[in-house]
Amino acid sequence: MADRKRKRPVKADSDSEEASSSKGALAFKKRLKPDEQILNSITELRAAQKEKPQSLSLSDLNLGIACREVVDLESTSVRLAIEHTILSIAASILAGNGFSYQVPSRNNSNQLYVPELDRIVLKDKSSSRQFVNLSTVRKATITTRILQLVHQLSIKQIHVTKRDLFYTDVKLFQDQSQSDSILDDVSCMLGCTRSSLNVVASEKGVVVGRLIFSDNGDRIDCTRMGVGGKAIPPNIDRVSDMESDAHFILLVEKDAAFMRLAEDRFYNRFPCVIVTAKGQPDVATRLFLKKMKVELKLPVLALVDSDPYGLKILSVYMCGSKNMSYDSSNLTTPDIKWLGIRPTDLDKYKIPEQCRLPMTEQDVKTGKDLLEEEFVKKNPGWVEELGIMVKSRQKAEIQALSSFGFQYLSEVYLPLKIQQKDWL
Amino acid sequence: MESNGSPELQKSSKKRKGTSSQNPKSSVLKQKSPAEFFAENKNIAGFDNPGKSLYTTVRELVENSLDSAESISELPWIEITIEEISKTKFNAMIGLIDRERVDEELYDDFETVKAREKRLAKEARDQEIQAKNIAHGKKIKETSKSTKSRGDASFFRVTCKDNGKGMPHEDIPNMFGRVLSGTKYGLKQTRGKFGLGAKMALIWSKMSTGLPIEILSSMRGQNYVSFCRLDIDIHRNIPHVHIHEKRENKEEWHGAEIQVIIEGNWTTYRSKILHYMRQMAVITPYAQFLFKLISDMADKNVTIHFARRTDVMPPVPVETKHHPSAVDLLLIKRLIAETSKQNLLQFLQHEFVNIRKSYAERLIGEMGSDFSPKMAVKSLSSQQVVRIHQLFRQAKFADPSGDCLSPAGEYNLRLGIIKELHPDMVATYAGSPQVFEGHPFLIEAGVSLGGKDVKQGLNIFRFANRIPLLFEQGADVVTRTAAKINWSCYKINQSQDKIGVFVSIVSTKIPFKGTGKEYIGADINEIVSAVKTSIQQCCIQLKTKIVKKLQARERLERKRNLTRYIPDASRAIYGVMKEIAKSRDSKQRQYNEKEEEILNKVSCREITEPIIKEKLTHYVEQVDYEMALEYAAQSGVSEEPREDIYISALEGAPKFLDLHHPVCVFRLFL
């Protein structure tokens, strides 16, 4: 609430002071206070967040509906779980009854958003995957094959990528999306996280800034990673001993903005850790962010595009995706602050018309659908922003700020936003 | 070909110049006969180029013949012959001596030395490639087509013989030698409209070959055959008769035979003409067509017989009166001039459809005080006519009924499709009459799947007033609508399946777009929605059939599809078990008794991969058998409805032999 009160006078000044946009950009710069004062606002946020009680777990709530959650399991437990499954279907076959799996359903109707936890969880509906059914025979066979492959991994205690897994039996899997989807089914069925199956996705996320951690025993200093940053290890087990003198974590949607901030050494001016997953976040990046947030207890600020997809990506970090909802407790990072670029910023920062794009029908529809989602509704600030976006039918990317100069983002926009505590 | 007509034109205009004006530069007021107009704008009637002219000639003659036979309710029997005439033969016909070229360089197709070298080199190369292909045992395509040079026109004698009504002896010259005179005017559903067809062929023959048209005709019960050879005086739009005589009618034949010699192009329009004949056979399955192409080269000859498939003919379309909302000012004036009715009330009541007496009285009351029911209709002033026209535009009238339409009939359309395409599946639908701008129209549609000579994807067959439309397909309402239909809804794969879409529109006035009557625009909402519903109705019918077929196929393939996965599954299961058996630690009790038992059997090879495979196979077979039984119990022994077959009637009184049996009699025709 305090933020919103502050917002109004700012808007009023900006209207009176600036006439043209180029002048405006300069005027915004003038308004910046010394860096120490700017950082103070972050420190306040950090202090406020520390006071908050620890987040609840599913078992703390007495939900009427049974929910399914998975846990990290040791390789041996995974191995045993697979062995019991296989032996039981073998017994069924030998008894002349064919075989079938009970696979938890991961479709839309089986998802539930729990407002208390602020994330999506999986209900416990499951479906039978029979071998003697034309519609499921393929999936049942692939499931069996994946079980065998994961069994081998658990015995040998090695990690492979999803792509590796796919290539072990291309003829049967046909398409990587099929083996990937069954892999999620298997982890859901065995009740363990996907990382416990020793199958990882290839590296996607990047991190740079005031962070030091051990990757498989090697000490990594993320301030000495050049402009490209350190790739986030696909296997979170390798990451340990995190240390940092950062004041906050900055989550960036896009690679381009990440590169700008890294090259400008934004993290040296304002001590922070910068993370991006280059679009939709993968499991490793989400796990990494969660780990940083839990171990370093830093506030997370997000910088995404001002379009429905930016918000959607933010929601995946915060509440989890429907596809991976069974593991949402490990994957979601609650309490991420939406720093920018927000629809109100378009006018507030006088982003010129030529940098704004009209929203397509599809965009507007996605925006309207988002307005119906629970995780948006519970945050009135978000509803307001999204409402403005859908109403104005305009979107803008982070790069729109480059119209005031390429470094405007790191030198003016972000510091000013932080100084004004302009996050939601 | 414009140049052919122009010398004569110039001559005539010069004559007029001399008399009417002294100043050669001032524009001269000229008058044109209808024949002249069409000679100059022959593309309006579909005579754009020699190829299309040949096509249009065939088409006009066939349609005239069909109309003629249908008008006397005779099952049509039409013979079309196209005979190619070489230049030498043609010159001989017109009495021109073939001349050898003396000055070779004068001609357009003269080959310079350089060009010849180039050509010879290319031919040598082609031969080399061919020789190589032969050596490799490849099939060679006939590539060595004699490319005709531009100056070499081909000429064709087009003959069309039918068993129609024939023409009265005296009327023949006027029927062919006067453009825009015809029997098809009036408000009814007709194939032709302008009375142009045969006349345009004549004008074209005069323009391209200068040869007259020959007509043989006999009417029912006439003991003679009329023979007429005539051409047309284009400037005066009157026939120019060479011979007009009566001949002996030996075979009691009735009908007409028309022969015209024109310039044409068979190579480029071959497929169009054949498509036309085939589609015509689809929409008129009660007609018999014999199509022949005769040329000097025997391998080019074509003979196609489109057999009769039914003897049910659609009724002859009846002439109807105008609908009040479809008339214009001029038409009202004409109707007033032509009417036999005396007063306004009778005029309204009898010259239009859907105006009953009481309604006519109400209308007259509404027209104003200077109108009365008893006033003489011929005395109406032009202002008063305008008032009537305005009222017709605004007043509400019941829609015209479709009684005056003569659709091909759903049954005939279906037979036609089956006869010519032999599809795997076909569904047809006949809509109810609807109205566009006061003209009733009716849409029938058919959708077929599979069949011979059908390409993958959408094959559109369009018919307007029971004539196939072949040109300008892309812009047509049927094509546009069919492309918008979501075929996958009906389990039809738009890109893979061979889909035939047949839409026949009949109306007293087809709203064609453009000058050539080639397509109907997609901007008329009434027609678009009617076409869409008709096609969708067909699809719904097809869907049930397709689903049934898919189910049956699924039943057949279930076992195969399940069995296919047995090796993969059993290998994986056995693989895991073998691994466990190998690596298990007997001290740790990680497995329960049952599991231990299985693992022990795996260790001592009592359970092997083939055993698991066998067990699974057995189970699949068992389940498949049970499901098959269930399917049979559910679906019963019902089969698809059978198609009636048509056996054409025998002509004359053949000999037969009766085989008697207490239950029935077999009649065996010898």
Spatial separation of the C-alpha atoms in residues A411 and B322, rounded to whole Å: 81
> For residue A2, what pLDDT band results from cuts at 50, 70 and 90?
very low
Q: Is A408 in the active site? A: no
A84 contacts chain B (CB < 8 A): yes
Spatial separation of the C-alpha atoms in residues B339 and B307, rounded to whole Å: 45
> Residue A139: closest CA among chain B residues belongs to which residue?
B565
Digit-coded pLDDT (tens) for A301-350: 999 999 889 988 988 998 888 888 888 888 888 888 898 888 888 888 88
> Residue B565: closest CA among chain A residues belongs to which residue?
A141
> Residue A99: closest CA among chain B residues belongs to which residue?
B616
Q: Which of A180, A200, A220 is the last residue of a domain?
A: A200
Q: Which of A178, A200, A222 is the last residue of a domain?
A: A200
Asked, for residue A52, whether it belongs to a domain, the answer is: no
Tokens in use for B269?
């329009």
The residue that leads in pLDDT, B230 or A60, is B230
Catalytically annotated residue among A113, A167, A309, A326? A167
Among B412, B417, B523, B405, smallest CA distance to B465 is for: B405
Say what the pLDDT of residue B586 is.
65
Domain count, chain A: 2
Domains of chain B are 34-92+152-306 (3.30.565.10), 324-394 (1.10.8.50), 410-540 (3.30.230.10), 548-635 (no CATH)
At CB < 8 A and 24+ separation, what contacts does A14-17 make?
A: A14/A348, A14/A350
Spatial separation of the C-alpha atoms in residues B253 and B163, rounded to whole Å: 7
Q: What residues of A are in contact with residue B612 (Cβ under 8 Å)?
A: 90, 93-94
- Same structural domain for residues A160 and A213? no
Digit-coded pLDDT (tens) for A11-59: 444 444 444 445 666 778 888 888 888 888 888 888 887 776 566 677 7
Report whether A320 contacts A69 (CB < 8 A): no
Distances (CA, A) of B501 to B449, B475, B532, B554: 9, 16, 11, 27
Say what the pLDDT of residue A1 is.
42
- Same structural domain for residues A246 and A225? yes
How many angstroms away from the CA of B620 is the closest CA of chain A? 6
Spatial separation of the C-alpha atoms in residues A317 and A340, rounded to whole Å: 15
Distances (CA, A) of B418 to A407, B502, B637, B645: 73, 12, 25, 11
Digit-coded pLDDT (tens) for A238-252: 888 999 999 899 999
Spatial separation of the C-alpha atoms in residues B556 and B564, rounded to whole Å: 14
Asked, for residue A24, whether it belongs to a domain, the answer is: no
Distances (CA, A) of A120 to A113, A332, A375, B27, B95: 4, 9, 9, 87, 96
A151 contacts chain B (CB < 8 A): yes
Q: What residues of A are in contact with residue B614 (Cβ under 8 Å)?
A: none
- Same structural domain for residues A348 and A265? yes
Say what the pLDDT of residue B3 is.
42
Residue A406 sits in a domain of what CATH number? 3.40.1360.10
Average pLDDT over residues A135-149: 92
Report whether B5 contacts B207 (CB < 8 A): yes
A170 contacts chain B (CB < 8 A): no
Question: A101 is in which domain, residue-wise?
Answer: 64-200
Say what the pLDDT of residue B80 is.
93
Distances (CA, A) of B220 to B69, B166, B174, B248: 11, 8, 20, 14
Digit-coded pLDDT (tens) for A94-113: 888 888 999 988 888 888 88
ipTM over 0.90? The verdict is: no
- Same structural domain for residues A175 and A214? no
- Same structural domain for residues A92 and A139? yes
Q: For the packed helices A21-30 and A2-17, what is the interaxial angle rounded to 10 degrees?
A: 130
- Same structural domain for residues A176 and A278? no
Lowest mean pLDDT, pick from A136-145, A171-180, B474-483, B590-599: B590-599
- Same structural domain for residues A231 and A311? yes
Report whether A280 contacts A315 (CB < 8 A): no
Residues 6+ apart with CB under 8 A from B496: B456
Q: To the nearest 10°, report the CA torsion of A403, A404, A409, A415.
A: -150
Asked, for residue A44, whether it belongs to a domain, the answer is: no
For chain B, list residues with pLDDT below 50: 1-21, 140-151
Spatial separation of the C-alpha atoms in residues B609 and B283, rounded to whole Å: 63
Report whether B188 contacts B118 (CB < 8 A): no
- Same structural domain for residues A117 and A146? yes
Asked, for residue A393, whether it belongs to a domain, the answer is: yes
Asked, for residue A399, whether it belongs to a domain, the answer is: yes
- Same structural domain for residues A196 and A210? no
Say what the pLDDT of residue A166 is.
92
Spatial separation of the C-alpha atoms in residues A215 and A220, rounded to whole Å: 7
Q: What residues of A are in contact with residue B598 (Cβ under 8 Å)?
A: 87, 90-91, 94
- Same structural domain for residues A188 and A213? no
Report whether B60 contacts B197 (CB < 8 A): yes
Spatial separation of the C-alpha atoms in residues A223 and A218, rounded to whole Å: 15
Spatial separation of the C-alpha atoms in residues A41 and A418, rounded to whole Å: 7
Report whether A193 contacts A70 (CB < 8 A): yes
- Same structural domain for residues A89 and A153? yes
Say what the pLDDT of residue B182 is.
61
Neighbours of B167 (CB within 10 A): 21
Its pTM stands at 0.60
Q: What is the DSSP letter of B480?
A: H
How many angstroms away from the CA of A141 is the closest CA of chain B? 5
Say what the pLDDT of residue B396 is.
84
Average pLDDT over residues A381-388: 89
Say what the pLDDT of residue B290 is.
92
Spatial separation of the C-alpha atoms in residues B378 and B12, rounded to whole Å: 41
Say what the pLDDT of residue B653 is.
62
Average pLDDT over residues A370-383: 85
Asked, for residue A19, whether it belongs to a domain, the answer is: no
**Adjacency order of strands within the sheet including A239-243:** A218-221, A212-215, A239-243
Q: Which of A200, A219, A244 is the last residue of a domain?
A: A200
Q: Which residue has 């796919």 as its token pair?
A: A166
- Same structural domain for residues A192 and A296? no
Q: Give residue A28's identity as a one-letter amino acid code.
A: F
Of all residues in chain A, the percent with pLDDT exceeding 90 is 19
Residue A94 sits in a domain of what CATH number? 1.10.10.10
How many angstroms away from the CA of B595 is the closest CA of chain A? 6
Q: Which residue has 């498939």 as its token pair?
A: B309
Closest residue to A131, CB basis, from B569, B591, B618 = B569
Asked, for residue A57, whether it belongs to a domain, the answer is: no
CB contact under 8 A, B616 and A140: no
Q: What is the DSSP letter of A354?
A: G
Averaged pLDDT score across all residues of chain A? 85
Say what the pLDDT of residue B147 is.
45
Say what the pLDDT of residue B535 is.
93
Say what the pLDDT of residue A11 is.
42
Peptide bond connecting A341 to the previous residue in cis, omega within 30 degrees of 0: yes
Asked, for residue A13, whether it belongs to a domain, the answer is: no
